[in-house]
């Protein structure tokens, strides 16, 4: 298993469940590292189903949104599926304003998201 600094990855059936180690995702260097770790899940582990659990995340900047968009592209390019869950209201508002809630498959919690993969 790869070593991660920005995320923690577990499995739930066939789904790679990603949680975030940082409460605030805004520092440029951290976001670059986060992006590389997220992309590695798709490119190296060849995981087809990825769930991002934002339960620990209190803040993210538009630079972090960029990494999520690129991850979504990579997952779709590999015929995989990406879902997100446990997004707090303030961050969900960011997704709504930018209409990324139309791009991303956002679920209430992990249980609902896992169910939606099956």
Binding site for another protein (CB under 8 A): 26-29, 59, 61-63, 65-67, 69-70, 72-73, 89-90, 94, 97-100, 102-103
- Closest CB to another protein among 43 and 66? 66
CB of 99 vs another protein, minimal distance in Å: 4
- Distance between CA 59 and CA 37 in Å, rounded? 19
Rounded to the nearest angstrom, the gap between the alpha carbon of residue 112 and the centroid of all alpha carbons in its chain is: 16
CB of 20 vs another protein, minimal distance in Å: 17
- Closest CB to another protein among 1 and 97? 97
Alpha-carbon distances of 8 from 97, 99, 102, 118, rounded to whole Å: 28, 27, 26, 23
Closest by CA position to 113, among listed 31, 14, 44: 14
Rounded to the nearest angstrom, the gap between the alpha carbon of residue 11 and the centroid of all alpha carbons in its chain is: 14
CB of 7 vs another protein, minimal distance in Å: 19
- Closest CB to another protein among 95 and 114? 95
- Closest CB to another protein among 63 and 116? 63
CB of 68 vs another protein, minimal distance in Å: 9
**Beta bridge pairs of residue 81:** 49
């Amino acid at each position: 298993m790869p070593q991660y600094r920005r995320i923690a990855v577990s499995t739930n059936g066939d789904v790679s469940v990603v949680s975030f180690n940082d409460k605030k995702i805004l520092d440029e260097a951290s976001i670059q590292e986060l992006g590389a770790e997220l992309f590695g899940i798709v490119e190296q582990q060849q995981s087809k189903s990825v769930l991002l659990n934002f339960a620990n995340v209190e803040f993210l900047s538009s630079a972090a949104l960029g990494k999520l968009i690129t991850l979504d592209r990579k997952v779709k390019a590999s015929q995989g599926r990406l879902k997100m869950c446990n997004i707090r209201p303030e961050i969900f508002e960011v997704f709504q304003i930018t209409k990324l809630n139309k791009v991303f498959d956002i679920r209430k919690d992990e249980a609902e998201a896992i169910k939606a993969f099956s």
